Amino acid sequence: MQTTQSSNEANLQGELIAPCGMNCALCLSYQFQQNDINQLGFHRKYCPGCLPRGKNCLHMGDTCELLRDGRVRFCYECSDFPCKRLKALDKRYRTKYHLSMIENLTYIRDNGLEAFLNNEGQKWTCEKCGSSLICCHNGLCLTCDLEVFLHNKKFRWGE
Ligand code: SF4
Ligand code: SF4
Ligand SMILES: [Zn+2]
């Protein structure tokens, strides 16, 4: 089954890199909205990304004043970086979702956002279609692997 395919260029925008280092383009809620997947019988909350939605991601909720008030673009600008909450989030994502917010942030700090976006394209582009990005929450390409996901809505990285 095919869905509307978004190009990497469209997906890999700087504004989709959240202050906590998450790449919202890889998030299931973002990809669901992009491809309007709920029309296939899912009932997931859509999200346009942390910055585009004008609110903090649920990840950090309202637990950090600096993020809540938009006082830092990225967490590495904060004197507490990486704080306890960010470390906990990072651990969860490293363990379950194959990405590290802290690594992302360190890379952006040291090499710039553009270099980071290039790397992300290489790392997450689906090898089958060569255009859509793999979702970090399940390891699937919602263009190529939609049938797998329809069959098992809890599918996660082959587990
Ligand atoms: S739910 Fe969070 S990680 Fe996902 S797109 Fe929205 S802000 Fe980004
Ligand atoms: S590193 Fe700083 S800005 Fe980021 S969540 Fe922690 S306290 Fe907030
Ligand atoms: Zn694909």
Token pair in block for residue 79:
């004197």
Q: What's the pTM?
A: 0.90
Asked if the model's pLDDT at residue 131 lies above 80, the reply is yes
Mean pLDDT of 77-98: 96
Which residues, other chains included, contact 49 with Cβ-Cβ below 8 Å and sequence gap of 6+? 15, 16, 18, 24, 25, 27, 30
Confidence of residue 71 (pLDDT cuts 50, 70, 90): confident
Measuring from atom 6 of ligand 1, which residue has the nearest CA?
A: 49
Max Cα–Cα distance, the chain, nearest Å: 48
Binding-site residues, ligand 2, Cβ < 6 A: 60, 64, 66-67, 72, 75, 78, 80-83, 85-86
Confidence of residue 11 (pLDDT cuts 50, 70, 90): low
- What is the best residue among 71, 80, 102 to mutate for testing ligand 2's pocket, by most ligand atoms within 8 Å of CB? 80
| Cα–Cα distance for residue pair 138/111, rounded to 1 Å | 28
Asked if the model's pLDDT at residue 3 lies above 50, the reply is no
Token pair in block for residue 112:
């710039």
C-beta of residue 76 within 8 angstroms of C-beta of residue 105: yes
